[in-house]
């Protein structure tokens, strides 16, 4: 990737971060900032899942494993080890990378539905360990005592505004890294494997290594989403590692657009808005969500952003064709 392109993307990321830092003054009150923090956690998580589904063709039903792993690893490091927040952040990513390597080495050799259900099996295994290991994890009650938030570099995450800015920074930085990951030669190789793994194998590329690295990267950023949520709720709960988290991640990817980089971000916003609005009106959130998912499956198969992107691309091609015809 050219240096000018990287600098342009850095400038764009800084601009987005500047806009996000100003928004709390436009929308004062905790409700907006809390929504953005939750959205940041789910957007990073769902985008990491899209690396597997949209770019790697690997549909994981157990990606929530890393969401829960990130939440518990970070919270326990802060509670039990008394590490600093940057160190706990780094160690959480390293732990997730190690676990993803072990699980991925087993799962990525399987295809399609077998891969999907084996990842789900590993997630439910981790969830069962969290429930059973009560002295460490708190069992089905979750961790008690809160997550310490000692200041670092002048940042106080016990201050809601500092926490908001920190989560926005992690969101933008994570999306920046994942975007350049999928735009790199490795990302294009991953797409080739998604489309025709046998042909890629004939080129001398070791398909399992590419898939494994993609699985590890997705696991690392999936854990970052859980880490942000544990900071927000100042705890970690078994529900963070339950299969429904993986289901919500898949829904976000479907709603925003599979294979569209910012699709999961849009899906996270839509799902959270839907949750906040519907739960305030009725207790049948699951029924409403099912109807919405059905509508997307029947009418917007490419998701919101995917449909808009395709419509814009078709319109642009049609305009280019008319211009060529006039000449």
The residue extents of the domains of the chain are 29-326
pLDDT, residue 281, reads 76
What pLDDT is recorded for position 310?
75
Q: What is the DSSP letter of 295?
A: H
Mean pLDDT, 10 residues at a time, the chain of 327 residues: 79 94 90 94 96 93 96 94 92 97 93 91 95 92 89 90 95 96 93 91 90 96 96 94 92 88 92 84 76 76 76 71 61
Please name the residues in contact with 93: beta carbons below 8 A apart, sequence gap of 6 or more.
Answer: 220, 223, 224
- Reference 23, options 159, 155, 161; nearest CA is 161
Report CA 289 to chain centroid distance, whole Å.
20
What's the CATH fold of domain 29-326? ABC transporter involved in vitamin B12 uptake, BtuC (1.10.3470)
The owner of tokens 């080739």 is 192
Tokens representing 102 are 């072990």
pLDDT of residue 322: 61
Residue 298 has which token pair? Answer: 């029947």
Instruction: Report the pLDDT value the prediction gives residue 325, as an integer from 0 to 100.
Output: 62
Confidence at residue 180, expressed as pLDDT on a 0 to 100 scale: 93
């Amino acid at each position: 990737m050219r240096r000018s392109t990287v600098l342009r993307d850095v400038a764009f990321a800084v601009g987005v971060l500047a806009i996000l830092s100003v928004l709390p003054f436009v929308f004062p009150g905790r409700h907006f900032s809390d929504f953005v923090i939750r959205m940041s956690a789910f957007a990073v998580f769902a985008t990491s899942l899209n690396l597997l589904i949209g770019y790697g063709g690997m549909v994981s039903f157990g990606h929530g494993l890393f969401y829960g792993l990130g939440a518990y690893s970070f919270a326990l490091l802060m509670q039990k080890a008394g590490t600093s927040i940057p160190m706990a952040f780094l160690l959480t990513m390293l732990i997730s990378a190690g676990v993803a390597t072990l699980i991925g080495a087993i799962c990525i050799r399987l295809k399609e539905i077998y891969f999907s259900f084996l990842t789900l099996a590993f997630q439910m295994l981790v969830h069962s360990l969290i429930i059973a290991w009560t002295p460490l994890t708190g069992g089905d009650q979750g961790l008690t005592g809160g997550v310490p938030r000692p200041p670092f570099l002048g940042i106080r995450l016990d201050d809601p505004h500092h926490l908001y800015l920190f989560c926005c920074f992690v969101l933008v930085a994570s999306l920046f890294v994942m975007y350049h990951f999928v735009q790199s030669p490795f990302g294009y190789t991953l797409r080739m494997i998604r489309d025709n793994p046998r042909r890629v194998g004939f080129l001398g590329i070791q398909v399992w290594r590419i898939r494994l690295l993609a699985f590890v990267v997705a696991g690392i950023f999936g854990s970052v989403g859980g880490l942000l949520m544990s900071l927000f709720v100042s705890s970690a709960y078994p529900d963070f590692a339950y299969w429904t988290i993986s289901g919500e991640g898949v829904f976000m990817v479907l709603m925003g657009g599979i294979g569209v980089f910012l699709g999961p971000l849009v899906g996270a916003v839509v799902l959270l808005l839907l949750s906040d609005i519907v739960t305030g009106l009725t207790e049948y959130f699951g029924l409403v969500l099912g109807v919405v998912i059905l509508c997307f499956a029947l009418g917007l198969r490419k998701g919101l952003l995917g449909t808009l992107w395709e419509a814009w691309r078709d319109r642009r091609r049609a305009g280019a064709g008319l211009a060529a015809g006039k000449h």
